[in-house]
C-alpha cells in the first residue's frame, strides 16, 4: 500500500475531502491493476467501476460522501485505462472479468476489504460489472448499473462524437473535448465546468483500448440472467445513450435480472449522472444499496 497521488487540479475542498486515499496494485496475467481506496477496511465494501475512456476520477464527486456514509470505497482504474496496464490481447469489456476477480481476491487476501462486496458500474464499467458477476457470482451481493450500455436498446438519435488525436492545437483539442462532453456525458452546459473538462482531457489521453465495440450489442442483456447479485439501475433523465428509449429500458431491465432491486432516474441529468448531479445520485445509490429498497 502507498498513498495515492491525486490530480493536482482538483479544487481545494475536493482535494481535502479525498485526502488519505490509498493506492493498491493487483496483478493478473502479468498485468498490473491500480486501485484507489478510502474508508475503514472493516466497513462494507463498495467497488466503483468507471466508464470507457475514463479512470477512477469518473467518481471523484461521490467518493467522499459514500465513505462518510459508512462504506469502504474501492475504485480501480480498469485494465487499459488510467494507471492500469493494458493486458496482452485485451481489446474489450469481455476481457476484464478475470482481472476484476483476481484483483478483488488479492485485496481480500491482504485484508484490505471484506466480502462479498457491492458493485456499482458506470457506462462501460456497468458492462464490466455485469460480465464479472456473471462469471464470478460469489464476488458480490449487489450490482448497480449506472448509465450502462449493452442492452440492445441504443438510441438512434445521438450526436456523433468527434476525433481529437489528430489535432495538434491544444485549443482545437479542447473544443472537441467540450463538444464530446455535451454530446455524450453531460446534459446542462453549465455542468461542463473546468474540472469536468480537465478530468476528461486527462482520462482520454490514457485510453489504450480505443476500438471497443461490444457496447453497441446486447451483451449485458444476455448475461444479466446469470448474475446472482441483486441488480438495480440508476440513469440520468437525459442519458444520451437512451434518448427517447429510457421508458423501454425501465420496463425491460427487471425482466432481464434474476434478482431485481430498483429503478431510479435522476431528473435533469445526463449520462455522467454521478458528476452532473452528485448529491441526487448519492441519495439514489444509497437507496439502491440499502437492504430493502423502497422504490
Q: Is a pLDDT exceeding 90 seen at residue 294?
A: no
Mean pLDDT in residue range 92-109: 97
- What predicted TM-score, i.e. pTM, was given to this entire model? 0.97
* C-alpha closest to that of 45 among 28, 20, 70, 27: 70
pLDDT tens digits, 240-282: 999 999 999 999 999 999 999 999 999 999 999 999 999 999 9
* C-alpha closest to that of 236 among 291, 191, 196: 191
Q: What is the pLDDT of residue 292?
A: 62
Mean pLDDT in residue range 35-52: 97
Q: What DSSP state is assigned to residue 62?
A: T
Peptide bond into 224 cis (omega under 30): no
Contacts of 61 (CB under 8 A, 6+ apart): 14, 274, 275, 278
pLDDT tens digits, 1-18: 688 899 999 999 999 999
pLDDT tens digits, 183-242: 999 999 999 999 999 999 999 999 999 889 999 999 999 999 999 999 999 999 999 999
Q: What DSSP state is assigned to residue 227?
A: -
* C-alpha closest to that of 47 among 195, 185, 149, 146: 146
CA distances from 145 to 138, 164, 248, 275 (A): 18, 29, 16, 15
Per residue, what are the HEC states of 231-287?
Answer: EEEEEECCCHHHCCCHHHHHHHHHHHCCCEEEEEEECCCCCCHHHHCHHHHHHHHHH
Amino acid at each position: 500500500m502507498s498513498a495515492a497521488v491525486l490530480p493536482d487540479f482538483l479544487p481545494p475542498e475536493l482535494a481535502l475531502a479525498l485526502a488519505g486515499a490509498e493506492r493498491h496494485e493487483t496483478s493478473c496475467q502479468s498485468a498490473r491493476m491500480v486501485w484507489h481506496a478510502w474508508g475503514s477496511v472493516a466497513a462494507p465494501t463498495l467497488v466503483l467501476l468507471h466508464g470507457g475512456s475514463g479512470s477512477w476520477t469518473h467518481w471523484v464527486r461521490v467518493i467522499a460522501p459514500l465513505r462518510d456514509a459508512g462504506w469502504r470505497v474501492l475504485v480501480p482504474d480498469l485494465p487499459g485505462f488510467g494507471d492500469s496496464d493494458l493486458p496482452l490481447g485485451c481489446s474489450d469489456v469481455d476481457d476484464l472479468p478475470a482481472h476484476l476477480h483476481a484483483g478483488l481476491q488479492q485485496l481480500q487476501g491482504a485484508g484490505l476489504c471484506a466480502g462479498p462486496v457491492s458493485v456499482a458500474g458506470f457506462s462501460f464499467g456497468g458492462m464490466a460489472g455485469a460480465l464479472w458477476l456473471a462469471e464470478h457470482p460469489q464476488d458480490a451481493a449487489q450490482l448497480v448499473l449506472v448509465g450502462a450500455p449493452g442492452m440492445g436498446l441504443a438510441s438512434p438519435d445521438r450526436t456523433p462524437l468527434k476525433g481529437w488525436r489528430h489535432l495538434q492545437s491544444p485549443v482545437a483539442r479542447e473544443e472537441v473535448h467540450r463538444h464530446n462532453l455535451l454530446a455524450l456525458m453531460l446534459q446542462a452546459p453549465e455542468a461542463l465546468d473546468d474540472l469536468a473538462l480537465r478530468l476528461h482531457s486527462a482520462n482520454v489521453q490514457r485510453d489504450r483500448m480505443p476500438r471497443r465495440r461490444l457496447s453497441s450489442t446486447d451483451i449485458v442483456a444476455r448475461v444479466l440472467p446469470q448474475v446472482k447479485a441483486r441488480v438495480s439501475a440508476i440513469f440520468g433523465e437525459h442519458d444520451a445513450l437512451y434518448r427517447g428509449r429510457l421508458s423501454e429500458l425501465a420496463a425491460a431491465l427487471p425482466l432481464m435480472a434474476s434478482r431485481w432491486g430498483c429503478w431510479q432516474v435522476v431528473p435533469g441529468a445526463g449520462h455522467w449522472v454521478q458528476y452532473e448531479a452528485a448529491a441526487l445520485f448519492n441519495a439514489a445509490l444509497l437507496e439502491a444499496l440499502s437492504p430493502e429498497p423502497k422504490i
